[in-house]
Amino acid sequence: MNRIDQRFAALKEQGRTALIPYITAGDPSPEHTVGFMHALVEAGADIIELGVPFSDPMADGPVIQKACERALKHGTRLSHLFEMVREFREADQETPVVLMGYLNPIERLGYRVFAEQAAAAGVDGVLTVDMPPEEADEFGPLLKEQGLASIFLVAPTTSESRAATICAHGEGYLYYVSLKGVTGAATLDVEAVDRQLAPLRRLTELPLCVGFGIRDGASAAAVGRIADGVVVGSALVSRIAEGVDDPVSIAPALKAVLGEMRRALDA
Amino acid sequence: MTKFSDLTRLPDARGHFGPYGGRFVSETLSFALEELEKTYLSLRDDPDFQAEFDRDLAYYVGRPSPLYHAERWSAQLGGAQIWLKREDLNHTGAHKVNNTIGQALLAKKSGKPRVIAETGAGQHGVATATVAARLGLKCEVYMGAEDVERQKLNVYRMHLLGAKVIPVESGSRTLKDAMNEALRDWVTNVDDTFYVIGTVAGPHPYPMLVRDFSAVIGREAREQSLKQIGRLPDALVACVGGGSNAMGLFYPFVEDEKVKMYGVEAGGDGIETGRHAAPLTSNAPQGVLHGNRTYLMSDEGGQIIDTHSISAGLDYPGVGPEHALWKDVGRVEYVAANDDKVLEAFRELTRLEGIMPALESAHALAHAKVLAPTMRPDQHIIVNLSGRGDKDILTVAKIDGVEF
């Protein structure tokens, strides 16, 4: 059983909601990333989404765009991410790590090489924002071969027939994008999300995790009542941005934000 | 059946041109693209829709555009006869309007009150703002901040037409960044917004529908060639950024095996310097950006490389997926023209024929200048003069050291 499935099984038993933080690898510079990952786990992370920086992050708002720019200034690339995950695994064998990003860096490395190296490093799942299941004929099976979960997005605009296709291909969990927009956009409408999760529940047993628009304990708790997991990205990445000139301040700041969400979810 | 007849049956049902094309977008946009594809496929063969499109092209754009024999320039080059397909004479001054007329009709049918566009040189932005004004649609145009600076005249034209121009400060501040920002806008406002893409790139069905709307160029040129030259031309030459004007000219000739085709990319400072925008000529690796797989200039880590060209309209790291396939199967030869040769061709056509070409189109002219002397005087080349050069006067003046 993949670490992601194990984690969700354990959470279900405990009646808890998964807390899934996202940070961009290499932001503000590569030597900090593994420390941040451990800090996130200490603050209550169940799964870590590690962003692969890309020069043209089309689905992201300004906060994550700038994070990509900071990471790329230091030349962060996939080979560095694999090293980071390997180092993280030396101290943490339990927490699932999902790589999240855009297709081109993977395309350039080659699907097979990517899958092999990611699995060897200790990665558990892959979410490629600009690769819908229809285009994943070649990539999907290669990930599966290596025991890596293919995680897909579902959006408010996803039709029922598309949702069925996505559910058939998805593994690990489904990432429900709570609003039409880019990451870091306006606040979300929890009731609307709740209405849209219901038909998905009929289509799949996969845990449903909700991201986009979760910024504090209150919004995390509200989403936590209707979803199996909450994903938080821009709220964390903006703390990293604030600490660029004083990197030692970042890990405590991340822990404070995530810790508040953890407590709100568990209350 | 000719060797290339299969090429007219693409893309496949999923928008692929061989290994290229496709629909690589975030999930939020998938539904909008499926809807657009359905709308377009239902209208493509609808005689009423085609009649409305043809009417607009005739009475609003001013088609057909002439095929002009550049006799003086041909004589100076001392080889093949050069004919110019005068897309510069279209309303708004470039080929871009053919496509925006078509997409505006689709926007109208879809009932969306707002259109957005990305633009490089500003020609597509102007063409979009123009049709939006005519149809009473709200229009916002994303333009790289560097391009806003080098294409001030077009920026003000869009403003006069009632469009809002939004300068994009991210990344390299050029066309690709404008497209990123337009996609971000679309994902946010997908319910009421139609995205008018300006080239034969982007996610399916855009490469197909932009090709179909642009192909009026080649259909006319083919007919005019038969009438004016008495036969098909020996060669076609067009510049390639995303590749819409080249696609428009080439597509109706694709099965005419004897007609050679040359797509001219932006060589910038020279392919060997790395400062160019020529993914096909430089044999860039395959990659995925802006919704399609194609030849794409990226570094070993898969990050998109900054491009360089004297012309904002060609300053793009990728190229339409159908061009990528045409390179692989050998239907079109892709070459590059460097900035200095482009300027030379710009000046030469202006002085010898009294026609000032856009710097984009001057890339095609620069290659015609290389090609013509290798051919006989009874042979014929059609060059797509895709746009007029008024918008580039400030750029050329700056190079000449003249300040206004």
User: pLDDT tens across B51-84, in order?
Assistant: 999 999 999 999 999 999 999 999 999 999 999 9
CA angle A165, A166, A170 (to 5 degrees): 125
DSSP bridge pairs for B387: B94
Residue B2 has pLDDT above 70, yes or no: no
The reply to whether B13 touches chain A by the CB within 8 Å rule is no
How large is the average pLDDT for residues B27-50?
95
Between CA B299 and CA B284 the distance in angstroms is 9
| Bridge partners of residue B388, in order along the sequence | B357
Residue A224 has what DSSP assignment? H
| Chain mean position to CA B24 | 21
Query: In the block, which residue shows the tokens 């996609």?
Result: B183
**Chain A residues 31-70 with a CB less than 8 Å from chain B:** 54-62, 65
Tell me what the mean pLDDT of segment B125-151 comes to: 95
pLDDT at B1 over 60: no
- Are residues B26 and A159, on separate chains, in Cβ contact within 8 Å? no
Tokens matching residue B299: 């570094």
Q: How confident is the model at residue A59 (pLDDT cuts 50, 70, 90)?
A: very high
| Lookup: tokens for B27 | 């999930």
Q: What is the CA radius of gyration of chain B?
A: 19
For the segment A116-166, what is each residue's pLDDT rounded down to a tens digit?
Answer: 999 999 999 999 999 999 999 999 999 999 999 999 999 999 999 999 999
Nearest to A134 among B23, B177, B298 (CB): B23
Residue A169 forms contact with B (CB below 8 Å) = no
Query: What residue has token string 């397909």?
Result: B85
Answer whether A180 touches B (CB < 8 Å).
Answer: yes
Q: What are the pLDDT digits (tens) for B220-239?
A: 999 999 999 999 999 999 99
Active site residues of A: 49, 60
Concatenating the DSSP letter of every residue in B146-179 gives HHHHHTHHHHHHHHHTTPEEEEE-STTSSHHHHH
Helix axis angle for A160-169 and B27-44, nearest 10°, is 130
State residue A196's pLDDT score: 92
Cβ-nearest to A182 among B34, B184, B300:
B184
Is the model more confident about B278 or about B8?
B278
The burial of A168, by beta-carbon neighbours within 10 Å (0-12 exposed, 13-18 middle, 19 or more buried), is given as exposed
Give the span between the Cα atoms of A8 and A151, in whole angstroms. Answer: 14
pLDDT of res. A184: 81
Residue A34 CA neighbour count, 13 Å, CB half: 14
Q: Are B401 and B106 in contact (CB under 8 A)?
A: no
Global pTM reads 0.96
For every residue of B37-55, DSSP letters joined together read: HHHHHHHHT-HHHHHHHHH
Q: In the prediction, which pLDDT does B375 show?
A: 98
Task: Show the beta-strand stretches assigned E in chain A.
Answer: 18-24, 48-51, 97-101, 125-128, 149-150, 152-154, 174-177, 208-211, 229-232
Cα-based distances in Å from A226 to A7, A137, A148, A209, B250: 19, 32, 27, 9, 55
pLDDT of B299 reads 97
Q: Do the bridges between strand A208-211 and strand A174-177 make them parallel or antiparallel, or are there none, so unpaired?
A: parallel
Mutate to test the interface with B, among A60, A76, A130, A179 (most CBs of B within 10 A): A130
Average pLDDT over every residue of A45-63:
96
Task: Note whether A56 contacts B304, CB cutoff 8 Å.
Answer: yes
Residue of B nearest to A56 (CA): B180
Q: Do A135 and B184 touch (CB under 8 A)?
A: no
Contacts of residue A161 in chain B, CB cutoff 8 Å?
none
Chain A, nearest residue to B292 by Cα:
A130
pLDDT of residue A154: 97
Locate the chain A residue with the closest alpha carbon to B180: A58
Q: Give the best residue of B12, B14, B28 to mutate against chain A (max A CB count within 10 A).
A: B28
* Integer Cα distance of B342 and B318 in angstroms: 20
B187-201: pLDDT as tens digits: 999 999 999 999 999
Euclidean distance between CA atoms A125 and A98, whole angstroms: 4
Among the ranges given (A263-267, B4-8, B166-170), the one the predictor scored with the smallest mean pLDDT: B4-8
Q: Is the pLDDT of residue B161 over 80?
A: yes
Would you say A210 and A1 are in contact if contact means Cβ atoms under 8 Å apart?
Answer: no
B320-371 residue pLDDT tens: 999 999 999 999 999 999 999 999 999 999 999 999 999 999 999 999 999 9
Q: Which residue of the set B118, B181, B220, B265 is catalytic?
A: B118
Whole-angstrom Cα distance, residue A196 to residue A178?
9
Q: What is the largest CA-CA distance in chain B?
A: 58
- Scanning B18-77 for CB atoms below 8 A from A yields 22-32, 34
Q: β-strands A97-101, A48-51: how paired?
A: parallel
Domains and their CATH numbers in chain A: 3-259 (3.20.20.70)
Judge residue A152's burial from the number of C-beta atoms within 10 Å of its C-beta, 0-12 exposed, 13-18 middle, 19 or more buried: buried
Structure tokens at B121: 């040189």
B180 CB within 8 Å of a chain A CB: yes
A68 vs B contacts (CB less than 8 Å): none
- B330: its two tokens: 């050998």
Higher pLDDT, B124 or B151: B124
Question: What's the whole-number average pLDDT of chain B?
Answer: 96
Q: How far apart are CA A4 and CA A173, in angstroms?
A: 8
Cβ contact B291:B210 at 8 Å: no
Q: Is B302 helix (H, G, I), strand (E, B) or coil?
A: coil
Share of chain A above pLDDT 70, in %: 100
More confident residue, B403 or B270: B270
Cβ–Cβ below 8 Å for A104 and B288 = yes
The tokens for B11 are 């893309």
Continuous H helices in chain A:
3-14, 33-42, 62-73, 78-91, 103-109, 111-121, 139-145, 160-169, 190-203, 217-224, 234-242, 250-266
B93 DSSP 8-state letter = G
Query: What is residue A181's predicted lDDT score, i.e. its pLDDT?
Result: 85
SS3 for A2? coil
User: Which residue does chain B place closest to A78, by CA atoms?
Assistant: B301
Burial of B188-198, coded b for 16+ CB within 10 Å and e otherwise, reads bbbeebbbbbb
**Is the confidence at residue B384, as pLDDT, over 60?**
yes
Query: What ipTM, to 2 d.p.?
Result: 0.95
B202 to chain A, minimum CA–CA distance in Å? Answer: 12
